[in-house]
Amino acid sequence: MYKAGGKVFVSNENRGWVYLEKDWDGGRLHLDLVEQAGLLGGSFSLLDIIQRAGLGGYAKDGQEALFLLEENQFPGVLNQQSEVFLASSLNDWSPKNRPDKWKMNRNELGWELRLPWHELSIQPPFCFKFITEDGVWLEPFHEFGSVLTTSEGVKNYQFDSRRSGRDVFSFEVVDKERNEELDRWLKYRPEGKFGYFKDNDEIEWFRVFAPRAKQVDLLIYQSSEGSSSERVPMQLQEDGSWSTKAKEEWENTFYMLSILQKYEDGESACFEKIVLDPYARATIGRNGPGLILPEPRKIEQESRFQIPPLRDLVIAEAHIRDLLEKADLGTASKGKSWFERLKIWISSEDCYLRELGVNAVEFQPLQEFDSRNEDEYHWGYMPVNFFSPESSYSSSPQRGTAVEEFKMAVEAFHEAGIAVILDVVYNHVGIPGHLLNLDRELYFRIDEFGRLQNFSGCGNDLNCESEPVRKLVIDSLTYLVETFDLDGFRFDLAELLGTDLLQEIEVKMKSIKGNFILIAEPWSFRGRLPNTMNETTYALWSDQCREQVLSLVKEGRGHEEIIQLLTGKLDSHAQPWQSINYIESHDDYSFVDRIFNGEKEEQEKFPDNLIKMNRLAIFIILFSPGVPMLSAGQDFMRNKDGVRNTYKRGDLNVLKYEDLSYYLELNLGVRQMIKFRLSEEGTFLRPQKMGDCSYHVCEGFPEGSIGLEIKDKRKHKSFLLVINFVGQDRTVLYPRKWIGSRCFLSEIQASSNAVFPSYSYAVFGLKE
């Protein structure tokens, strides 16, 4: 009945109600629920006791439970002489058996019955209803949150002592319309800096873009939990921005923005929203407040990490908490934040990622997201601010330490020779939607009926055709690169950003750092990015690779498609490195879950044939042109117990390093293959452009095997790649011209016969 703690109902009169599943605790849950419904609401107020009882059948009045039936709810059915009873599971739905207890009394509104609250509150939640003396059942207000409907379609109220009456809010739906003023600002890109900054004359300013607001005030807080100590009116400029000079004594204090908007009904009434500054560089949590921090020092050009070419990358996708939860960090990590622990971990030469040998890590989102507390496990794909690093990963959110701690963690990865790619989400936002309350239609994509669009699956798609939104995205990305020396971005649901914005991002990022890594998830619920992306330097996630490798390994199908993958032709890209080849990511099942049909008992390793299937899949993507991406833990059979969506399941996503002892041979094989791929000898696996290598499918190999001759035209060398994808031990007969080849990871006798292990990962060698 409820989702995320409550539900929302809107009437035709633009009035709304929020029904909480338990009494209001003073938090902002009711506001969250309205935003999740894609609505902008104002004038929120708790219903009084009579209003709540009239809608929900009861409310707590003092120490009594007041059951109320209003006469106007049933015109033509009830009159002043009618007798009404309360029927429930407590009286077996037969109130006339004890009319003195269950008969309701007439009052000015209708009929009421008062019972001791303590007698009812000890009962588990129970259903009730009103019935007349003639046996007519009176249907409850069917849109009320606690009304339950049986499988037969019968509606009943529910009494729940957790909902005493402080559980229903009413609000006014703000129904803004697209108008000429909006169209003007959608096409206008503001210039200059926003947020808190110093201008060229060292004068400090606050600035925000809200051209349709009636008034914007800066709220200064002396503590992160107290009320605002100072309200400073900001001045509207001709360019649609609001600004005010800052005071020196405000530095290192807290702030929010008050946005006053007019209702679009021609009346003079206004509603106020308190929002986090979209350009805040640090915040103490999803709700704010932001911190007034000096602009951090930019990483100098000569100090920036030298990024390897895209074709030379081997990427590991990872989540900070998954990496560190069970990592052995010793006493040095005691009491440290996630960012600090990350720095300690990667600085150790025997940490997992360094031993694995990857030269790039792709972190799941680290911009401030909508977790409700620091202990809540969160993937990060619901951002509430695009500038501030996640506060719960820092040692002291109240002091804004996330900025320096994240910067130091990135620096430590660079010292280890590992590029840092950040997964970023600019297609939708989390809750609370601060931008939604800043200007709903300016920042979000709406349909012809004024509803927020939902091609992201989250119900509040950012309007990336809006020039102010594009400005915000570019400014955010620029800040992240110049401040933290990041080496690349992976854009979540990049199709929703559109090719124009993606190309603008490309130009800007490449101007800051050479070889900057740009990766796009090329789809959304709206469609896919067009083939014109081939003209850019973006690499795109290859779902074709993911599905075709699965098909080959699990079912022995897709022989021709795998040959296309091994020759760089599976995806219709202009260059080989434009395909990110992967078989598993954070989302959906793990690869092991997709190929395993049995039940793994506690402390028991997976069957050998499953390990070989996983090994074959990993080695195929490591032997293919393009950019291989592994999900951290794939090399030691990481799985999620068959659970598909684990975005809240840190217990299933965590890397269980103890499993390395079970799957050490697999781990060592993957490490050795990565080392070879990145070596000088392995350059034939990393073509820069189509035509660097030629490929020839060899004859003479038995069914269930692929023999592929690869000629590296740059080095005038030839290699033989052999893949055996059948599930049984077999003898592979090599054409005699390959006898005596120098092979990798497998010793093959210089004879006409060679024994291949089942699901052999790969064999290749120099041609005589």
What φ, ψ does residue 764 adopt, rounded to 5°?
A: -150, 165
3-state secondary structure 270-316: EEEEEECCCCCCCECCCCCCEECCCCCCCCCHHHCCCCCCHHHCCEE
Please determine, for residue 294, whether its predicted confidence score (pLDDT) is greater than 70. Answer: yes
CA angle 610, 614, 619 (to 5 degrees): 145
Q: Are 493 and 587 in contact, with CB atoms under 8 Å apart?
A: no
Query: What pLDDT shows up at residue 600?
Result: 62
CA distance 536 to 531: 10
Query: What pLDDT shows up at residue 717?
Result: 85
Please determine, for residue 260, whether its predicted confidence score (pLDDT) is greater than 50. Answer: yes
Residues 6+ apart with CB under 8 A from 510: 516, 537
Q: Please report which confidence band the pLDDT of residue 152 belongs to, taking 50, 70 and 90 as the band edges.
A: confident
Q: Are 392 and 398 in contact, with CB atoms under 8 Å apart?
A: no
Token pair listed for 323:
């990496």
The pTM (predicted TM-score) of the whole model is 0.90
Query: What pLDDT shows up at residue 3?
Result: 65
Query: Which amino acid is located at 651 in the chain?
Result: D
Burial call 474-494: b when 16+ CB within 10 Å, e when fewer: bbbbbbbbbbbbbbbbbbbbb
Task: Compute how many other C-beta atoms are within 10 angstroms of the C-beta atom of residue 435.
Answer: 24
Task: Compute how many other C-beta atoms are within 10 angstroms of the C-beta atom of residue 284.
Answer: 23
Please determine, for residue 12, whether its predicted confidence score (pLDDT) is greater than 80. Answer: no
Residue 387 or 741, more confident: 387
CA distance 465 to 475: 16
Query: What pLDDT shows up at residue 87?
Result: 96
CA distance 546 to 713: 29
**pLDDT, tens digit, 9 for 90 and up, residues 447-488:** 888 889 999 999 999 999 999 999 999 999 999 999 999 999
Token pair listed for 276:
């986090």
Least confident interval from 31-35, 490-494, 681-685, 755-759: 755-759
Residue 151 or 474, more confident: 474
**pLDDT, tens digit, 9 for 90 and up, residues 719-747:** 888 887 775 433 343 443 443 333 433 33
Q: Are 719 and 549 in contact, with CB atoms under 8 Å apart?
A: no
CA 628 to chain centre: 22
Please determine, for residue 71, whether its predicted confidence score (pLDDT) is greater than 50. Answer: yes
Task: Compute how many other C-beta atoms are within 10 angstroms of the C-beta atom of residue 693.
Answer: 25
Query: What pLDDT shows up at residue 96?
Result: 87
CA distances from 78 to 67, 131, 135, 142 (A): 17, 11, 12, 19
Closest CA to 628 of 574, 668, 557, 568: 568
First to last CA, the chain: 71
Mean pLDDT of 511-528: 96
Query: What pLDDT shows up at residue 629?
Result: 98
**pLDDT, tens digit, 9 for 90 and up, residues 195-232:** 999 999 889 999 999 999 999 999 999 888 877 789 99
Query: What pLDDT shows up at residue 268?
Result: 58
Q: Given strand 693-697, what is the order of strands in its sheet?
A: 693-697, 705-712, 717-724
Least confident interval from 245-254, 342-351, 568-577, 739-748: 739-748
Query: What pLDDT shows up at residue 74?
Result: 81
CA distance 162 to 178: 42
Please determine, for residue 408, whether its predicted confidence score (pLDDT) is greater than 90. Answer: yes
- Report which secondary-structure segment, H or E, holds 724: strand 717-724
E-strand ranges in 500-558 read 517-520, 539-542
Q: Please report which confidence band the pLDDT of residue 176 belongs to, taking 50, 70 and 90 as the band edges.
A: low
CA distances from 261 to 244, 269, 438, 686 (A): 19, 9, 9, 56
- Residue 66's DSSP bridge partners are 59, 114
Q: Please report which confidence band the pLDDT of residue 760 belongs to, taking 50, 70 and 90 as the band edges.
A: very low
Query: What pLDDT shows up at residue 448?
Result: 84
- Report which secondary-structure segment, H or E, holds 413: helix 402-415
Please determine, for residue 671, whether its predicted confidence score (pLDDT) is greater than 80. Answer: yes
Q: Are 489 and 518 in contact, with CB atoms under 8 Å apart?
A: yes
Closest CA to 432 of 388, 341, 371, 373: 371
Residue 173 or 239, more confident: 239
Q: What is the mean pLDDT of the chain?
A: 89
Which residue in this structure is represented by tokens 């498609």? 561
Q: How many residues make up the chain in this entry?
A: 768
Least confident interval from 283-292, 410-419, 665-674, 746-755: 746-755
**pLDDT, tens digit, 9 for 90 and up, residues 612-623:** 899 999 999 999
CA distance 272 to 269: 10
Give the rounded percent of residues in the chain with a pLDDT score beyond 70: 92
- DSSP-based three-state secondary structure for 140: coil
Q: What is the DSSP letter of 391?
A: G
Q: Please report which confidence band the pLDDT of residue 2 belongs to, taking 50, 70 and 90 as the band edges.
A: low
CA distance 56 to 147: 8
CA distance 263 to 172: 10
Query: Which amino acid is located at 226 in the chain?
Result: G
Residues 6+ apart with CB under 8 A from 573: 534, 540, 579
Token pair listed for 548:
């075709």
Task: Compute how many other C-beta atoms are within 10 angstroms of the C-beta atom of residue 150.
Answer: 9
CA distance 689 to 74: 76
Q: How do beta strands 241-245 and 579-581 pair?
A: unpaired
Cis check for the bond before 432: say yes or no (omega within 30 of 0). Answer: yes
CA distance 627 to 616: 17
Q: Please report which confidence band the pLDDT of residue 764 belongs to, taking 50, 70 and 90 as the band edges.
A: very low
Task: Compute how many other C-beta atoms are within 10 angstroms of the C-beta atom of residue 587.
Answer: 14
**pLDDT, tens digit, 9 for 90 and up, residues 563-616:** 999 999 999 999 999 999 999 999 999 999 999 987 666 557 899 889 989 999
Query: Which amino acid is located at 47 in the chain?
Result: L
* Alpha-carbon Rg for the chain in angstroms: 31
**pLDDT, tens digit, 9 for 90 and up, residues 643-655:** 999 999 999 999 9
CA distance 32 to 167: 14
CA 403 to chain centre: 21
Q: Are 289 and 276 in contact, with CB atoms under 8 Å apart?
A: yes
What φ, ψ does residue 399 adopt, rounded to 5°?
A: -110, 5
Query: What pLDDT shows up at residue 492?
Result: 98
Burial call 548-584: b when 16+ CB within 10 Å, e when fewer: bbbebbeeeebbebbbbbbbbbbbebebbbbbbbbbb
E-strand ranges in 153-203 read 155-159, 168-173, 195-198
Query: What pLDDT shows up at residue 702?
Result: 75
**pLDDT, tens digit, 9 for 90 and up, residues 235-244:** 999 999 999 9
Residues 6+ apart with CB under 8 A from 171: 15, 16, 17, 18, 30, 34, 41, 42, 43, 44, 45
CA distance 148 to 127: 8
Residues 6+ apart with CB under 8 A from 225: none
Query: What pLDDT shows up at residue 755?
Result: 34
